[in-house]
Amino acid sequence: MSEAVVSISNANIYQGDSLILENVNFTVTKGEFVYLVGKTGTGKSSLLKTLYGELTLREGAGSVVGFDLLTMDWKKVPFLRRNLGVVFQDFQLLTDRTVHENLKFVLKATGWKDEHLIEEKINDVLDKVGLRSKGFKMPFEMSGGEQQRVDIARALLNSPKLILADEPTGNLDPETSDEIMQLLMQIAKDYGTSVIMATHDFIVINRYPSRMLKTENGKVIDSAAVMA
């Protein structure tokens, strides 16, 4: 049996007092690539926020990279997030510093102190995303695809078991979207990092088919269960 990186069972997901998703059940195993799809307002964001600890899980059971979502208090949320990589649609890079300084900032903020190890890690993640020679550049000097690669490099810094990618191809042209998809799928396959990717882009899904979780009518429908 593959190691479960995410395990959610009989979970009810709330935003404030509103029940958004009911009786949610799914498991994501090590190195698995899973799409999260659904119309706007059907609970995709609420589910992602629950997985990275922004929304508290109140009912049911949930475990993400070994952290129990039901019993976790706010003090443990930063430790959960250190074991996750989060990739955003709008990159969220610091615009006043180079790519290298962006990555160094994250490592320092998560407790890295040894300058030699910091340099090694930055070179390692830039290698993985094909940007080894671009560390000196400012974000505004880079294309959208390159900035998204930096965002993925940043998500890899603390060797996460899980990457949550929120519409990572949303602002990119089709060719660049292809490159980012190939990169994310390669990371899942080569490094055993699980990826949950929220997307509206059915062109991408058709080109790179994989298991799907769909938010619809207050439920999460798992394509793996439908096909089983």
Residues 14, 16, 21: CA angle, nearest 5 degrees: 20
pLDDT for 228? 44
Tokens of 209: 């088919």
Q: Report the alpha-carbon distance of residue 100 to residue 88 in Å, rounded.
A: 19
Helix (H, G, I), strand (E, B) or coil at 217: coil
Q: What are the sequence ranges of the domains in the chain? A: 4-227
What is the architecture, at CATH level 2, of domain 4-227? 3-Layer(aba) Sandwich (3.40)
Q: What pLDDT, in 10s, does the model give residues 134-179? A: 999 999 999 999 999 999 999 999 899 999 999 999 888 999 999 9
- The two structure tokens encoding residue 63: 């475990």
Residues whose CB is less than 8 angstroms from the CB of residue 227 and which lie 6 or more positions away in sequence, other chains included: none
> How far apart, in Å, do the first and last CA atoms of the chain sit?
17
Question: Which ranges of the chain have pLDDT less than 50?
Answer: 228
- Cβ distance 195 to 1 under 8 Å? no
**CB 65 within 8 Å of CB 83:** yes
The one-letter amino acid code at 9 reads S
What values do phi and psi take at 139, rounded to 5? Answer: -50, -40
Confidence (pLDDT) at 227: 53
Identify the burial level of 227 via C-beta atoms within 10 angstroms of its C-beta, where 0-12 means exposed, 13-18 middle and 19 or more buried.
exposed
Q: Tell me the C-alpha to C-alpha distance, in Å, between residue 69 and each of 5, 72, 215.
A: 13, 5, 20
